[in-house]
Amino acid sequence: MTRVERAAKPAVIEQNQVAWTQALLDAATKEDKKRAEKKYRHLEIKRALVSMFHGKCAYCESKILHVDYGHIEHFRPKSKPEFRSLAFEWRNLLLSCAVCNGPEHKGDRFPEADEGGPLINPCEDFPEEHFEFAFDFQARLASVVGTTARGKTTATLLGLNRQDLRAYRSRRVMQLCVLSRCAENDPDARALLEEACHDDAEYAAFARTLVVGHICDQGLQENDR
């Protein structure tokens, strides 16, 4: 997870948020509620989120759009009565993958402070203050380690170290570590490492921590001994 600066509110929300919210709050039947609620799926809103998050999941940093449509995620779940008025609040909307936002992980959960929350919001918090992006060279595993109560809750609830995700992410980080050995003398390798640190790159948090910090070279050298 990396810090993301929130883009300007889409015009469609600016123009319709008050009316949409009121219609949702006034909905008397399930059908009325469903009809009012689905307005957040407007294409202009989705495009703004995809652009803001560079097509990556706000939580796990995986690229989404080449395999899925991605979810418009309500950070504070719209299904909770206390958060219903935030259904069309731009600051409450993120882009996420179906797994992080699925029922096995976040779903409609939102732990409060007495439960180890709230979750880390990449648009409001600085993730590096709550997580360590660690790479175990011997096990070849790239793990998101919570360093605060909120970080631990977030990593656990979102499944940021779930098996398939960590396996895929670890292969990517290992490739970056190998590239780092060549970067000093190979401009192409150096360029690839720099690209890996860009906001639009998968797992940029790891690239910035491991590559820029030169931890990769040290670990590989130790493994060579």
Report the chain's mean pLDDT, rounded to a whole number: 91
Residue 177's pLDDT is: 85
Instruction: State the residue for tokens 């779903």.
Output: 107
Q: What is the distance between the alpha carbons of residues 177 and 204, in angstroms, rounded to a whole number?
A: 13
Asked whether the predicted pLDDT for residue 92 surpasses 60, the reply is: yes
Of 14-18, 84-88, 103-107, 137-141, the poorest mean pLDDT is in 137-141
- The burial of 40, by beta-carbon neighbours within 10 Å (0-12 exposed, 13-18 middle, 19 or more buried), is given as buried
Percent of the chain whose predicted confidence (pLDDT) is above 70: 93
Residue 220's pLDDT is: 46
More confident: 75 or 194: 75
Q: What is the distance between the alpha carbons of residues 27 and 180, in angstroms, rounded to a whole number?
A: 57
Query: Cα 193–99–25 angle (5° rounding)?
Result: 120
Nearest to 150 by CA among 185, 178, 192, 121: 121
Q: What is the distance between the alpha carbons of residues 166 and 170, in angstroms, rounded to a whole number?
A: 6
Q: What is the distance between the alpha carbons of residues 195 and 159, in angstroms, rounded to a whole number?
A: 26
Residue 106's pLDDT is: 96
3-state class of 93 per DSSP? strand
Q: What is the distance between the alpha carbons of residues 96 and 112, in angstroms, rounded to a whole number?
A: 21
Asked whether the predicted pLDDT for residue 49 surpasses 90, the reply is: yes
3-state class of 128 per DSSP? helix
3-state class of 57 per DSSP? coil
CA dihedral 82, 88, 90, 94 (to 10 degrees): 80
pTM of the entire structure?
0.90
Q: What is the distance between the alpha carbons of residues 185 and 198, in angstroms, rounded to a whole number?
A: 21
3-state class of 184 per DSSP? coil
